[in-house]
Amino acid sequence: MLHAKIIDSSIEKIEISKAEHFLKSEKFGAVIYFIGVVRDNNENKKVNGITYDAKDTMVIKSFEEIYNETEQKLGIKNKAVFIEHVKGHLKLSEKSILIGVACKHRDEAYRLSRFIIEEIKKRSPIWKKEHYENEDSEWLKGISLTT
């Protein structure tokens, strides 16, 4: 069971309560939330916000592919996964991503949560533009998808 969505920050925000509602089941004994938030520094620069860009359809496709791979790669069959990622501008401490996972046991849940965030970092077409205290801004360097 997967929920995958891009959240336009100008319209709505990531809310943990939605993930709680989605993941709630008597079948699962372990629920883990990974939340990415905007921090105030990067490489010795004072950050005051980040603009996220995304190719929405491709991002959702990548979330679905990552979810579908978890059974074979991690051997986790019974699970629920909630993934939301923001697109648009965020201020400090605002949530950029929420990955909620529910599994039968904690070991599976920890492994699943870690796998999903690491794969998103490598595969999902999302970009960050950092805004600095001195009013400069910069697109962060990332991982190339060229083969």
Partner 1 sequence: MKISVELFGAAREFSKTKYLEFNFSKSCKLIDIKKKLYEHVDNKFNGNLNYKEIIKSSAFCSDKDQLIKENQILNKNQIIGIIPPIGGG
CA distances (Å), origin 113, targets 69, 77, 132 = 13, 14, 30
Among 28, 52, 67, 115, binds partner 1 (CB under 8 A): 52
Measured in degrees and rounded to the nearest 5, phi and psi for residue 29 equal: -105, -5
Between residue 60 and residue 119, which ones bind partner 1 under the rule CB under 8 A?
61, 85, 96-97, 117
Question: Are the CB atoms for 81 and 99 separated by under 8 Å?
Answer: yes
DSSP 60-123: HHHHHHHHHHHHHHH---SEEEEEEEEEEEEETT-EEEEEEEEESSHHHHHHHHHHHHHHHHHH
CA distances (Å), origin 50, targets 8, 15, 86, 140 = 13, 19, 11, 10
Among 22, 30, 36, 114, binds partner 1 (CB under 8 A): 36
Nearest-approach distance from CB 125 to partner 1, in angstroms: 5
Per CB under 8 A, does 17 bind partner 1? no
Per CB under 8 A, does 9 bind partner 1? no
Among 10, 11, 93, 141, binds partner 1 (CB under 8 A): 141
Nearest-approach distance from CB 36 to partner 1, in angstroms: 5
Nearest-approach distance from CB 46 to partner 1, in angstroms: 20
Per CB under 8 A, does 121 bind partner 1? yes
Binding residues vs partner 1 (CB under 8 A)? 36, 52-55, 57-59, 61, 85, 96-97, 117, 120-129, 139-147
